Structure 1
Amino acid sequence: MAPSHLTITTLGWEGWLSLGLVAGCFLLFARTRIAPDIVTSGAMTVLLVTGVLTPTEALAGFANPGMITVAVLYVVVTGLTETGAVGWIGQSLLGRPRTETAARLRLMLPVAALSAFLNNTPVVAVFIPAVQDWARRHRLALSRLLIPLSYASIAGGTCTLIGTSTNLIVDGLYTQRTGAEGLALFELAWIGLPVVVVVLLFVLLAGPRLLPARTAAASTFEDVRRYTTEMLVAADSPLHGKSIEAAGLRQLPGLFLVEIERDGQIMPAVSSQEVLRAGDRLIFAGIVDSVIDLHRIRGLVPATTQVFKLGGPRQDRCFVEAVLSNRCPLIGRSVREGRFRARYNAVIIALSRQGERVQRKIGDIELAPGDTLLLETRPEFVLQQRNSRDFLVVSQLGDTHPPNHARAPVAVAIVMAMVLSVATGLLSMLEAALLAAGAMVLTRCTAGRVARRAPDWQVLVVIATSFAIGAALEKTGAAALVAGSLIGLAQGQPWMSLGLVFATTALLTALATNNVAALLVFPIALDAARLMAVSPLPFVITLMVAASASFATPVGYQTNLMVYNVGGYRFGDFLRIGIPLTLLVGMLTVLLAPLIWPFRPV
């Protein structure tokens, strides 16, 4: 039965307000399109203004090491994206799936394995850009991959003591409160591996029906700009000796390899099995996004040498679209004759003319009014030419720019050093992430301006303000009241108590965070085992799994929040697939935990 002090009458207005705000937040998440950071920030503000929380308590989440670690990891990941190392991850670990189900399996297996030995937050942070690139190349719906990515990392974290911070926290409480010897590093694998299998099977079998297929609004419209561009297989290119299909050049959406020029000979209608050689000149026609993607592929360089005559490193440049006016002095002259680079300090890397392919090399094309040029240049070009009479329109394409492939090995080495320092216990996750972020900037794997814009502030604000909501639930006794009342329903039955421990912890994890839920339920679970005179170990194990099994909401676990915006998800997307998965994992845990760690009398 529940401890006697947990009665309904002990909850003051502060507790009811906290519970009401939690319910209101979930209602707004589920039924409106209000951004999650606005909702949770509003709840935190109410708790602060009404005096439920002090300013220190309300703002403590913004100084939380976990939140700061996530912010710093965004900077670390820019080192991988800016150098093109993300493409290495996609090629080496993810490969080329034949079906969408095979893609989820290829993604979830390595993520679950890595998350068993690493904190799952950096694993997800590194994989998100790799999966974005991978999905685009293989024409996969990103929204049908990112939830499986988060779920695989959560499941993998249940396999070892170091897989998630929650396991370490609960194990520390267990040894402190009972004096018993702590769990061995791989002891949790007895329950963690079955959890991984269940999560993998459920997502693979139910995913096609339950995962959402979100597409960007712009993707429903055909891009009428068909650019012509030329790329060269570099002398030291890793693509030398690979077929066109194996090199991934048949997989970029909206892009067509028109022909290959080799030793002065033109090869039209190129087969996907044609083997590339160093020095091959590849002529492509396609949409702007895929043309830019070509410049991110290691081993391909622009066919024009003009790119390498521009001042400054390539990663400091950007891609710009410009439409020629009829007043441009270069109209009627070829790109080469007009000395475009010398005049504008920009290089034409692709050209579009009324949506049709121009049947000439870019350097030989005579420029005409209305031609749309894709330029590689420096950011100052936009400011200098925006009001020029030479161009009708000048616009920078987001923050895209050519990657610095030469720094890719350095970026990978920095991430590996970060991972090893944490895995061996040399540094904490925050310390290792801070050093790795600094190393990325110092080695020029990422630029300072890119690093400053890297963090997803919406995700970080939701994480920080969620700590305030969890603190209010704990401070007012609302969380303890809910937990104690549910445990009391078991009426002294160990199996039923175990099920309620899981249900209570999973519920609180969905409302607050996994660590807060574990801290709140631990003393109640320990008291339940003591009153029934059984071993507390199955309760401790169940608590660890339940605190990590946060599949049902995006706000209950950091990795869910990290994929929430990127995948374009809605709150209900997590409920639809997460609730049945949480129930399955709960039943499995309650069934196996007492069999592996028996309810022996104490």
Structure 2
Amino acid sequence: MIGVLRDTGTRLTPQSEEKIRAGDLLLVCGRVEDILRVKTAAGIEIKSDFKLSDRDLRDGEMQLFEVMILRGSDLIGRTLKRLRFREQYGLTVLALNRHGVSLLAKMSDIPLRFGDVLLVQGRREDVERLVADGNLLLLQDVSRRSKRVGKQRWAIAAFLFFLILSVTQVVPLVVAVMAGVLLLIATRTINAQEIYDFIEWRLIVLIAGLISFSAAMEKTGTDRYLAGLIVRWAGDYGGMAVLAGFFLLTVLLTQPMSNQAAALVVLPVAVKTAVALGLNPRTFAVAVTYAASCSFLTPLEPACVLVYAPGRYRFLDFFKVGSILTLAVFIIVMLLVPIYWPLR
């Protein structure tokens, strides 16, 4: 049972002690044959012309969320019934999707697996508690899908305003972007909370920490050590070999690390090595930037994790296809980058 609609108001996620009254409109989720069987036994009438939208499934703090079960989650291998999911977490599971197939029949008896996507109804703080514990990954807030059709013209106007300011260079680019954002906020096309939600604070903290890590490498001489290894192994073969060495080093580091982290670690080392060898540091910077995006060999990238289970991929699948993509990018970069940014 999803909710109860009565004259006194809507009651979503009703508790087990909730008493059903005559005239109540019950929102239920299940197979048609099961609902028909209950209809005959319990003396209820099915409202065939009743239409339900996402807005009807929100009552005050109640919202809809799509979440995915993470690897190592405490929920894996256990059923919703055994977990007493609604009572323990305050959330109602409306649907379960596994490998692209929606499982609606007897969801409470299905053992949960890594990669299962759940459509849940409840309060944001209850969902965030499970997300913070590492049990779930929040994919989408379904309650925020509703489009602000009346604000489309303001979104277009803000984009054109930013475009004109940036192209004419009347103000610096940063000021042009800020002016466009302020126009969106002033016209209520987007609110401040949504802007904060768009910011990936963990990434900002990660970049700040890795800048310190890069400084530590410089202070301890680790950067010179790594550069020395590459120059020692590839220096006799010319600047292109050194460039290829830094490309491969970045590709190796970007598999377990994030793209930004790998670039922040290797970039200062590559630039210093290029300057020491009398080569163009910009060539090395561009090559390292491209190499940092070649995280195709493993499913450790967050975007790969999202499709790993739903797509039923294996670890070896990423290596097979990723090695071909990495080789193709390596060849293209080594051929084109020195043309547009010559080594000398």
TM-score, length-normalised on structure 2? 0.50
* Structure of greater relative contact order (alpha carbons < 8 Å, 6+ residues apart): 1
Normalised by the size of structure 1, how large is the TM-score?
0.31
